Chain A
Amino acid sequence: MKQRLVVIGAGMASGRMLEHLFEAGFDGEVTLFNAEPRGNYNRLMLSPVLSGEKTYDQIVTHDAGWYESHGVDCRFGEPVVKIDRENKVVYSAQGGVPYDALVIATGSAPFILPVPGKDLPGVCTYRDLEDTNAMIAASRPGAKAVVIGGGLLGLEAAAGMAARGAEVTVIHLMGHLMERQLDPAAGYLLQKDLEARGIRIHCKGATKAILGRDRVEAVLLEDGTVYDADLVCMAVGIRPEVRLAHDAHLEVGRGIVVDDQMRTSDPAIYALGECVEHDKQLFGLVAPLYDQAKVLAATLLGQEAAFKPVQTATKLKVTGVDLFSAGDFAEAPGREDIVFRDPGRGVYKRLILEGERLIGAVMYGDTADGSWFFDLIRQGKDVSDLRDTLIFGPAYAGGPTANPLAAVAALPPEAEICGCNGVCKGRIVQAIEGGATTLDMVRAQTKASASCGTCTGLVEQVMALTLGDGFTANANPPMCKCTDHTHEDVRRLIKSRGLKSIPAVMQELGWKTSGGCATCRPALNYYLLSDWPLEYRDDRQSRFVNERNHANIQKDGTYSVVPRMWGGVTTPAELRAIADAAEKYAVPMVKVTGGQRIDLLGVRKEDLPAIWADLNAAGMVSGHAYAKGLRTVKTCVGTEFCRFGTQDSTGLGIKLEKLLWGAWTPAKVKLAVSGCPRNCAEATCKDVGVVCVESGYQIGVAGAAGMDVKETEPLLTVATEDEVLEVVAAFIQLYRENARYLHRIYKWVAKVGLDWCRAQVADPAARAALVERFRISQSVYQTDPWAEHAARPADWAPVADLTLRAAE
């Protein structure tokens, strides 16, 4: 009797398997069930169908004639509902079909987010022709579509609908697109390209609900954003379709467990495709499934074969977007990166080496060498010989290893060095010979390396060649080992090039590491939030511990808590609340600080939210005693009580503190206001100090009393309190916009000159503009961080406590 083979699922994997079987002359009887009311088509090509570049007919892989000529009994539109293993029969709603061998190839089911509104009409997934047609129907020009999920599928859905004229928004939970295949730099370039096509991208967006009465109308995010939508496509992931196998009590992990021969825990039942789990691994791309198809065909024919998963490579099928990733690109010990960035062309390439072997590659913008790298990865070849030029691809492979200086020496005078300003080598040599002996002078005279700065290294090499021993490299060192740029360059370029995220800076300015380091990340985070207060979102993970936890860490890992005490003035009620908190949380030391307020030292991390909540309840907010930001405004008693006071120094100090608190600055900022030149508030050694006199207010700046001690220098003398507030706000904003990270005001003023600062804040128009920019920033950042964090106490406690478990 002929072998009876039953196949559940007419998808990409089983289709390929049947081809192999028939080519080898298999002469059993095949019954093929499929839940979709059609046979096998190329699922990958649904995206070109969605975008209108192909029709459904063009992507059918097996038509009715093919099934007929191989005698396949097609049961399309007839899902299998049950497997009876004992009697070897599968059941659909139409009845049972007996088998000798059974193949489960049910693929995956899209994952549906369990949010309210998920069942409304107008919500679809992206898996089959029905979904594709629903999206085509909804993509009239001007229609609004929201895609949830910025992975491969979501982006193909978004690009396809956008190509048909819909206004598309992509909501993605993670910080950058396609985070499973791309690192942040490549994700940033991809986002930029998609935005250029009019697709709106919302990263770090968590969907809270889908809104609508009879059908979808909008999508609501956790952060309160609402996007109107005529259609919502959920593309948040897939789950192996294992329900049949599970009900039949086959061994199922995340997928149906199979061995190297694709056999399940029942020797008469096999499985392949996305529904299986092999060696703890799942599969979501088609290449390994084709290998499984070959192995299973051989197994069914009684031949020896074993499945070994291979590396897979990913490409996004969006016309005009060039992206490639393969292998393993996670950072890990013993691994090294080679990073190449060409900001001008929007190119990014990163190779990951482990020992002598290439193990991963990510590329964006220029993927021509992708298959060559992919080959090196798969072969596990020793690439140590190629290493120096590896990133330039096969064209350079095996060539002589280049000495960079010799290469520059060999360049002809007309060779372009600075692409942004079109400056050639000859022009630079001419300038140097004419007396430009420093990089700054070369920059000023030729404009070479004055724009994006990527060619700075080249320019320096030209200088080294021309000046010989007379050349000493730039005295202002780069920010850190991740970049050749100085802090000043980075600040300037962030503004002039409109860079608004850490990955954007790293890509456009040619960072040499993929994720920065503990030196550059906090600096970049500050520069971005200071330059783009409305657009940029603070990155908590790029902050030092004190600013991340809004408390000062102590040597034993506990924290100190300092509530604000405006101008050093307090009340009995506040003191009572501080005393109560100190007792309630068993604070080991209560101390009066050098900044005129009270410090609660030695608080345990998990108690922070509670103690903050208690202090908040008494009307107190964070004193930012930990911040690169406004610390204290010390005051003396002034006219209110002192017989010598000339102005209300206490009141002015409180006003200044209320104006400035919450603002992040390059380094900490401390103020003081003294009521007369006796200067009891020590205003003459502060970052900004005001000394009141009969005729008004002397504003001094750039004092120091820490590691250096230095008297303030007079900035301006003004007549009214309002002017003091304006001048100080403008001066602080000038500092915020221009200083390098971690430079106190006195160091910054020494660099830019007090005269320049004075000119900026004395000019009424410039002053008003600075004040306005400060006000905008404060509208975002003047919030009490304690209140925000006290609302989520669980984040501050250990994530698990195993001490109890161990005792069991």
Chain B
Amino acid sequence: MTMIDIAALDDIPREGARVVRTALGCIAVFRTADDRVFALDDRCPHKGGPLSEGIVHGSLVTCPLHGMVFDLATGLAQGADTGSVATHPARVERGRVLIGLEVMRARPAA
């Protein structure tokens, strides 16, 4: 797994997210109140809502469009809802955020 340095931790607001654009769609990179980071596809499985714009509470995010709640680590929908979002490896190293992207390798050479 290649880990790619995408930003400084402080580029992402606490309890917020920023988006990384990739050839296979956008990835939302979340930062929790206690400075952990998570990377998920920025598309809600319900109707494609941008999860990066949801309210982050604890290690959950609430989709901004119709309120489904997802676990940032597993990508699983919470409560009575079903469905999941793809997750990607992410970690903080020396104040920088790294994400691992198999999606990049899967991309055919342009």
To the question of whether A and B form a pair in one complex, the answer is yes
B6 to chain A, nearest CB (A): 4
Contact of A799 among B6, B33, B48, B67 (CB under 8 A): B6
B86 close to chain A: CB less than 8 A: no
Decide if B64 touches A331 in the complex (CB within 8 Å). Answer: no
Residue of B nearest to A800 (CB): B6
User: Given A541-B16, A556-B48, do A333 and B55 touch, yes or no (CB 8 Å)?
Assistant: no
Q: Are B12 and A331 in contact (CB under 8 A)?
A: no
**Contacting pair B104 A332 (CB below 8 A):** no
Contact status A799-B59, CB under 8 Å: no
A selection of 8 A-B contacts at a CB cut-off of 8 Å is A179-B35, A331-B32, A333-B72, A542-B15, A557-B50, A798-B20, A806-B22, A806-B104
A545 at the interface (CB under 8 A from B): yes
Cα–Cα, bound, A540→B56 (Å): 11
Q: How far is the CA of A521 from the CA of B54 in the complex (A)?
A: 13
Q: Which of B19, B32, B47 has the most CB of A within 10 A?
A: B19
Of A508-516, A655-663, A692-700, the one contacting chain B is A508-516
Q: Are B73 and A541 in contact (CB under 8 A)?
A: no
- Encoded as 1 (CB less than 8 Å from any A CB) or 0, chain B from 48 to 60 comes to 1110011111110
Question: Is residue B3 contacting chain A, with contact meaning CB distance below 8 A?
Answer: no
Once bound together, how far apart are the Cα atoms of A515 and B32, in whole Å? Answer: 10
Contact of A517 among B13, B16, B35, B57 (CB under 8 A): B57
Chain B nearest Cβ from A708, distance in angstroms: 22
Interface residues on A, range: 35 or more
Whether B34 pairs with A806 at a CB distance below 8 angstroms is no
* CA of A516 to CA of B26, assembled, Å: 28
A175 at the interface (CB under 8 A from B): yes
Give the Cβ gap from B55 to chain A, nearest Cβ, in Å: 4
Residues of the A chain whose Cβ atoms lie less than 8 Å from the Cβ of B13 = 540-541
Q: Give A172 Cβ to nearest chain B Cβ, in Å.
A: 13
Most A CB within 10 A of own CB, among B49, B57, B72 = B57
Which residues of A476-531 have CB atoms within 8 Å of chain B's CB atoms?
513-518, 521-522
Chain B residue contacts of A330, Cβ below 8 A: 32, 34, 36, 59
Supposing A555-B47, A802-B4, A803-B23 touch, asked if A518 and B73 sit within 8 A by C-beta, the answer is no
B34 touches A179 (CB 8 A): yes
Instruction: Return the chain A residue nearest B78 by Cβ.
Output: A333
Of residues 164 to 196 in A, which have CB atoms within 8 Å of B's CB atoms?
A: 174-175, 179, 183-184
Give the chain B neighbours of A799 by CB distance below 8 A. 6-7, 11-12, 18-20, 29
- CB closest chain-B residue, reference A329: B34
Within 8 A of A (CB), among B22-48: 22-23, 26, 29, 32-36, 47-48
Task: Classify chain B's interface size.
Answer: 35 or more
- Interface of B toward A, CB cutoff 8 Å: 4, 6-7, 11-16, 18-23, 26, 29, 32-36, 47-50, 53-59, 62, 64-65, 67, 69, 71-74, 94, 101, 104, 107, 110
Which A residues contact B (CB, under 8 angstroms)?
174-175, 179, 183-184, 254, 329-333, 513-518, 521-522, 540-545, 548-549, 553, 555-557, 798-803, 805-807
- Find B59's partner among A331, A545, A557, A803 (CB 8 Å cutoff): A331
Q: Is A331's CB under 8 angstroms from B110's CB?
A: no
* Inter-subunit contact A800/B21 (CB<8 Å): yes
CB distance from B109 to the nearest CB of A (A): 8
Check A544–B29 contact: CB distance below 8 A.
no
A518 lies within 8 A of B57 (CB): yes
Partner of B57, one of A329, A515, A553: A515
Task: Give the dominant DSSP class at B's interface.
Answer: loop
Q: A799-B19, A801-B21 are in contact. List 4 more A-B contacts (CB 8 A).
A: A254-B94, A518-B62, A541-B16, A553-B50
CB distance from B100 to the nearest CB of A (A): 12
Contact yes or no, B73 A332, CB < 8 A: yes
**A254-B94, A556-B48, A800-B7 known; A522 and B55 CB under 8 Å?**
yes
With A545-B54, A799-B6, A800-B6 given, is the CB distance from A557 to B22 under 8 Å?
no
Q: Which residues of chain B come closer than 8 Å to A555, judged between CB atoms? A: 47-48, 65
Give the complex CA separation of A803 and B20 in angstroms.
Answer: 9
A521 contacts B53, C-beta separation under 8 Å:
no
B47→A183 contact, CB < 8 A: no
Contacts of A805 in B (CB 8 A): 4, 104
- The closest CB in chain A to the CB of B56 belongs to A541
Q: Are A514 and B21 in contact (CB under 8 A)?
A: no
- Chain A residues within an 8 Å CB radius of B6: 799-800, 802
Q: Knowing A544-B64, A548-B53, say if A802 contacts B21 (CB, 8 Å).
A: yes
| Nearest CB in chain A: distance from B7 CB, A | 4
| Interchain CB contact under 8 A, B59 and A541 | no
Could you tell me if A516 and B20 are in contact, using CB atoms closer than 8 angstroms? no
Docked-complex contact B107 and A806, CB < 8 angstroms: yes
In the complex, the answer to whether B34 meets A183 with C-beta atoms within 8 Å is yes
Choose among B14, B58, B59 the residue with the greatest number of A CB atoms under 10 Å from its CB.
B58
CB distance from A389 to the nearest CB of B (A): 24
Contacts of B18 in A (CB 8 A): 798-799
A549 touching B47, Cβ below 8 Å: no
Cβ contact within 8 Å between A802 and B20? yes
Pick from B11, B55, B58, B67: contact of A514, CB below 8 A: B58
- How far is A798 from B15 in the complex, measured between Cα atoms in Å? 17
CB-CB under 8 A from A522, the residues of chain B are 55
A556 to B, closest residue via Cβ: B48
The answer to whether A541 touches B14, judged by C-beta atoms less than 8 angstroms apart, is yes
Is B58 in contact with A515, judged by CB distance below 8 angstroms?
A: yes
Complex Cα gap A179–B36 (Å): 13
Which A-chain residue is minimally distant from B8 (CB atoms)? A799
> Within the assembled complex, what's the spacing in Å between the Cα atoms of A553 and B50?
10
Given contacts A541-B14, A541-B15, A541-B16, contact A803 B21 (CB under 8 A): yes
Closest A residue to B43 by CB, please name it: A557
Q: In the complex, are the beta carbons of B101 and A802 less than 8 A apart?
A: yes
Cβ contacts under 8 Å, B74 to chain A:
333
In the complex, A767 Cα to B14 Cα: how many Å?
Answer: 41
CB distance from B43 to the nearest CB of A (A): 9
Q: Are A807 and B110 in contact (CB under 8 A)?
A: yes
* Contact flag A802-B58 (CB < 8 Å), given A175-B14, A183-B34: no
10 A-B pairs with least C-beta separation: A799-B18, A518-B62, A545-B64, A541-B15, A800-B6, A331-B58, A545-B53, A518-B55, A333-B73, A798-B21
**B59 touching A518, Cβ below 8 Å:** no
- Measured CB to CB, the nearest residue on chain B to A516 is B57
Closest CB of chain B to A64's CB: distance in Å?
41
**Max chain B Cβ within 10 angstroms of own Cβ: one of A522, A549, A802:** A802
User: B42 to nearest A CB, angstroms?
Assistant: 8
Q: Which residue of B lies closest to A799 (CB)?
A: B18
Residues of A within 8 A of B101 (CB): 802
- A521 cross-chain contacts in B, Cβ below 8 A: 55, 57
Q: B23: shortest Cβ distance to chain A, in Å? A: 5
Taking the closest CB of chain B, its distance from the CB of A540, in whole angstroms, is 7
Min CB–CB distance B39 → chain A (angstroms): 11
